Structures are given as structure tokens and as C-alpha cells.
Amino acid sequence: MSETINQAHFGEHLTLDGYGGSYEKLNDRELVLSCLSDLPKKLGMHPLAEPVIYAAADNQLRDPGGWSGFVVIAESHISIHTFPKRRFVSIDAYTCKNGFDPSIIERYFQEAFSLEDMETNFIKRGTKYPVENIFE
């Protein structure tokens, strides 16, 4: 059994919270679906299935409803949750394809939803990921 630890990392995870977006764009089911179809191609990633999207109803609490969608890619996943009535969107892009440029994703969604402001977090995941199989 090998306990060798990789000095690199397993993956990269960008979280993006967008503010002041266009109500119309954030409430556009087809635009959200298009983002989930187009972005993996733009990043050189490989979808394992077609994107799925759901209408999320107002829960009478913090969530006034919107669209939630995701696409599973060979490299991991991308998810989008829109809140049109708050002009807000929450996005995750997680990949085991190291070295991607977060600014590409930031610009893509800023343009797609006409975001006025964004908060982003970039996380290196699996910093102790083994370089070889532990069990054969």
C-alpha cells in the first residue's frame, strides 16, 4: 500500500456569486441551459450527459425562486442557481483539469447575465491526493 502524496492538487473549484444581474437573463431558462452546454466546450471539458435544469419555486423564506441547473462533465461539474427577483446568481465550476483560467469563467458569466458585481473564490482541492492507487 502506497502512502505517497502528490505535491500538486487534484482539482480546482471556482465559486462565483453574481450581483445586479439582468432579471430577464436570470429568469431565462434557455439562457441558463445554453450556459451549461457552451461553457464546458469553451473550457475544453467533456460532458457525460446533457445538462439538466429545474424550475425552483419560491420557498417563502430566503429563496424567491429561479432556475437551478447542472452539467456533469468527465472532469467534474458545473452548476448554476439563479434568483431573478434578487438579481443574483450562484455558480460552481469544479474540475480535476488543473490550470484553468478563472477569469474566462468570470467574464463568461458577467456577460451572460449582465452582472454588475461578482464575488469569486478559487479553491485548490485534494492537495493530498495520492499519486498512485492505494489498493490494486
pTM for the model: 0.88
pLDDT at 2 > cutoff 80 = no
Which domains occur in the chain, in start order? Answer: 13-125 (3.60.90.10)
Between CA 43 and CA 77 the distance in angstroms is 12
Between CA 15 and CA 36 the distance in angstroms is 15
DSSP per-residue string spanning 66-87: EEEEEEEETTEEEEEEEEGGGT
Between CA 93 and CA 40 the distance in angstroms is 10
pLDDT at 3 > cutoff 50 = no
Q: Convert the pLDDT of each residue in 70-119 to its tens digit.
A: 999 998 999 999 999 999 999 999 998 888 889 999 999 999 999 999 99
Q: Convert the pLDDT of each residue in 4-20 to its tens digit.
A: 444 578 899 999 999 99
Q: What is the mean pLDDT of residues 57-69?
A: 85
pLDDT at residue number 131? 81
Between CA 34 and CA 13 the distance in angstroms is 21
Known catalytic residues are: 76, 81, 96
